[in-house]
Structure 1
Amino acid sequence: MTTPQVSPKTVPDDLDVETSPRTSGIDSADHTAEQMRRDKLAYDLKIKTDLRRFLEEHHGLTNFDVDYLSGGTANYVYRVTERGSGVTRIFKHAARQLRSSKETFELSPERLDFEADMLMMLMKRSEDESECHCRTVEAFDASTIEKTHVHTARFKSYDRDIKLLCIEDGGDRNLKDAYKDLSLAELQEIGAELGKWLAKLHGTTPLSYVSGDDEKRNNSVGVAIASYTYKRLLGTLDHYCDNLETGNLSNETLAEHMKPYDDTRRRAERLSKRAGDLVDNRMTKMRESVCHGDFWPGNIMLRSNISTKGPSHGLTVLDWELTRIGNSATDIGQFAAEATILDLLNGNSYQSGLCAAFIRAYFKTSAVGVGSKETIYAWMTQIAIHYAVHLIVWPPDAIHWAPKEEAPNFCIHGLTVLKDALSQTPDIRTWGLFAGLDGLEEIAKEFPDKRGKNADE
């Protein structure tokens, strides 16, 4: 199946080209490029039939099937299958109005520009470094795969004018859905490989992969979404306060956590403000590393038993549209929170399951041992806060996958961690998040004095 190529850069409408015999060719090219752009914009790629017509009329594709893929909330995603060979590709279209919120919530479709650029840069780097990454998994070269490994979705093409991205097909199951079918040993192996992979992304990816030639450039959509969780913290706590005051908070344990203070609502406001101040000052404004932006098990596709040399899994990392320059703690905290939810819902301990394996491998692989303890411990506090706020805010939300009756239990754990992490005398051992790390007892003793200024001060 012919693969569409990256569209040429459209000539700006305000380009001032003098009319003369010498520039008539430029004028003609400008007109042709603009007409092609307008022709492409006539297709409504939110509709499957229009995607089919676009691929047929602009790329000459024939004898193929188009299937609309459910899942996710923002984009329109399709699988295109060549009938003769069975070769598949994924096409992803970003519209201003989100797929799950067509009338009320909008995000700039330029978010897909950042995803396409990042995938191109990461693919080029993997090829330059002769890594197995994309080619091995896509070709199912079983002879070269000896263990579970992680790779970025392989870039195929991108049409910037109409925000249509084509990438490799990572399979039908994501890690969230596959979790229940995996053994504890497999989950620990997968968590470890994901921790190593993320540590490498944070530690070795140049900021220019996001910023380009402008060092101040960043993905504004990714930055906004990173802070959105914190902006919702007070509203979530307010909801629980309302239920507590009216006697409708049925979860007795959560009720006990919400009322150890004379003014529960004032306490919630103070807690939210302190967490919000921290994210504004240290997370969304920090330019520490390249972040994935939405790193959780639902954005990791899994293919199992791909090797003849023993059990192994191919893990494909998708959905880079929120990638940004920011604080690595947000990626770590989000994945750890979602892994904890999966661990607890499936009868595993988050201190020995997917979450624990991920955290331990990340810390072992990254350069966290380099630098002052004041820097490292402050960073660990930021991970814990992001982890805790995610557990409080997202499970009760309508778009989140967790059973709503379980949301109060995740809120209890999140509140416990958040209160301690923001206190003057934190005990990192009570968080559970870093259980099993080498030297945890020594870290716990030093933590209150060595982590630098916190949100209480």
Structure 2
Amino acid sequence: MSKEAADQDILALVSQEVSQTPYACSTLTQLSGGTANFVYRGILSRPLEDGTKTIIIKHGEAYAASNRDFKLPTERCVIEETILSALNNVPATAAEPENTGTSTSTSTPRCTVRTPHLFHFNRATNTQILEDLPDALDLKTFMLAPAAAHRVPHDLATVIGRAVGKWLRAFHDWVAEASQGALAQASEKNKLMRDLKFTVNYNNLVGQAGRFPALLAESQPVFRRVRDMAAAELGGTEGEGFGVIHGDFWSGNVLIPGTALDQQLDVPLFVTDWELCQYGPRALDLGQMIAELYELKHFKDIDAGIWIIEGLAEGYGVIDEDMAFRTAIHVGVHLICWGSTVAGWGTDEQIEEVVKIGRDLVVRGWEKDRAWFEGIWLRGLFTRA
């Protein structure tokens, strides 16, 4: 059976499943970008009592939606349901623009960040029904779109970053409360996804010297020590920088309205895809997001990537020096392992340069060279450490 035919079978099953519920849909459209799961936007046959007309349906199988040969346990879906259910009643985090007296600052909307509401989850079929953000794009796609790429104002980019940073800090603090002990226990069980994250980042880091020997061979001793440090963190539950983390916190998992540049009052953002939620260093959430935002500037010369990073650091607030260096190391690891592998993302020269930048971040972070970091675009982490 072809992938297209198999996907149609899944669509038919999902449509049949929801047809006997309040979430019956007149049409279902599969959304692009779903790697692990089958994701659809549904137009409800009848609006919900609150007026909701569209929903998102996310269905998981014991394999990746994009590659049936890549097996993934469906426990990931239960982890996501657990965290989303707990977050259903957590209010949005907001960031207001700073009033500098300029025309752009007075016309910049505020940004609010929260998770989509989970309406329903069927544990027998691993099917979620979620709140839809109409006309949404993920933040990375939004920033790359011709309509926005070089048009996002500094004030708006900073507010987006500040809102996302404030939300991330609020989430890390909230989930560390004693009342959320059940969430911590659930996330600690997500060992397969935790180990997968370690493998594709830190084991992969050491192997990258084979791809870029001229750039990375001399740094191999440091890379091995960094890998060993990350391996020692697996299963760790103690320390200021440890807690429940999103686990896949990057610009592809933050949704923003495609019309954000036209908004006057409020820009809502949703944080999605919680299947890698795990217990680990909070620096991994910060570092992955920062690395992806930096790639916008590095590969596409989109200044707003840096502006969002600056707002993100401000919004997240004070961290200790150890967490700042750990974050910087993860930024570097991500640039080396992921920034160098996206097909068509940049020229050979840009790819080599991003590997160099990643190498320097890892090595300088390992050496705790604060003065060096205070002289580069990542200085915002250290002014608050």
Q: TM-score surpassing 0.5? A: yes
Q: Name the CA distance, whole Å, in 2 between partners of 1:83 and 1:215.
A: 35
Letter in 1 for 2:268: G
> Corresponding residue for 1:317?
271
Q: Is 1:224 aligned to residue 195 of structure 2?
A: yes
**Higher mean displacement: 354-363 or 145-154:** 145-154
Task: Report deviation, 1:147.
Answer: 1.8
Residue in structure 1 matching 2:224, options 273, 281, 287: 273
Correspondence for 2:137: 173
Could you tell me how far 1:70 is from its partner in structure 2? 0.9
Question: What is the distance in 1 between the residues matched to 2:79 and 2:181?
Answer: 7
In 2 relative to 1, CA 419–91 (structure 1 residues): closer, same or farther, beyond 3 Å? same
For residues 227-376 of structure 1, the aligned pairs below 5 Å read 227-228=198-199, 229-241=201-213, 255=214, 257-258=215-216, 264=217, 267-282=218-233, 285-286=236-237, 288-303=242-257, 310-349=264-303, 352-364=306-318, 368=319, 376=320
Q: TM-score, normalised to structure 2's length? A: 0.80
1:90 partnered with 2:56: yes
Alignment CA distance shift 1:214-1:431 (3 Å): same
Q: Is the 8 A contact 2:188 2:235 kept in 1?
A: no
Match of 1:75 in 2: 37
The structural deviation recorded for 1:169 is: 0.8
Work out whether 1:117 is the aligned partner of 2:82.
yes
Alpha-carbon distance between aligned partners in 1 of 2:43 and 2:244, rounded to the nearest angstrom: 33
Aligned equivalents of 2:254 and 2:187: distance in 1? 30
Q: Which residue of 1 aligns with 2:163?
A: 193
Tell me the distance in 1 between the aligned counterparts of 2:9 and 2:256: 26
**Contact residue 283 and residue 323 of structure 2 kept, 8 A:** yes
1: CA distance, partners of 2:60 / 2:272: 14
Which runs of no fewer than 5 residues in structure 2 stay unpaired? 1-5, 95-107
Q: Answer with 1 or 2: which has the greater Rg.
A: 1
Residues 324, 381 of structure 2: 8 Å contact kept: no
Structure 1 CA distance for aligned equivalents of residues 154 and 326 of structure 2:
28
Structure 1 unmatched ranges of 5 or more: 1-42, 135-144, 242-254, 259-263, 369-375, 444-457
Does the 8 A contact of 2:162 with 2:311 survive in 1? Answer: yes
Deviations 1:305-363 (A, max 9, x none): 68999343110111011111211000000001001111333424589421122122212
Give 1:429 shift.
2.5
Which is worse superposed, 298-307 or 172-181?
298-307
CA–CA distance in structure 2, aligned partners of residues 84 and 204 of structure 1? 36
Alpha-carbon deviations, 1:33-90, whole Å to 9, x = none?
A: xxxxxxxxxx98962122112222x437656101011103111111111256581111
> Which one-letter code corresponds to 2:16 in the other structure?
R
Cα-Cα RMSD: 3.3
Is the strand fraction higher in 1 or 2? 2
Residues 194-209 of structure 1 mapped to structure 2, 5 A cutoff? 194-206=164-176, 209=180
Pairing partner for 1:429 from 350, 373, 385: 373
Instruction: Name whichever of 346-355 and 67-76 sits farther off.
Output: 346-355
Partner amino acid, structure 1, of 2:191: S
User: Which AA in structure 2 matches 1:93?
Assistant: H
**In 2, Cα distance between equivalents of 1:178 and 1:222:** 28
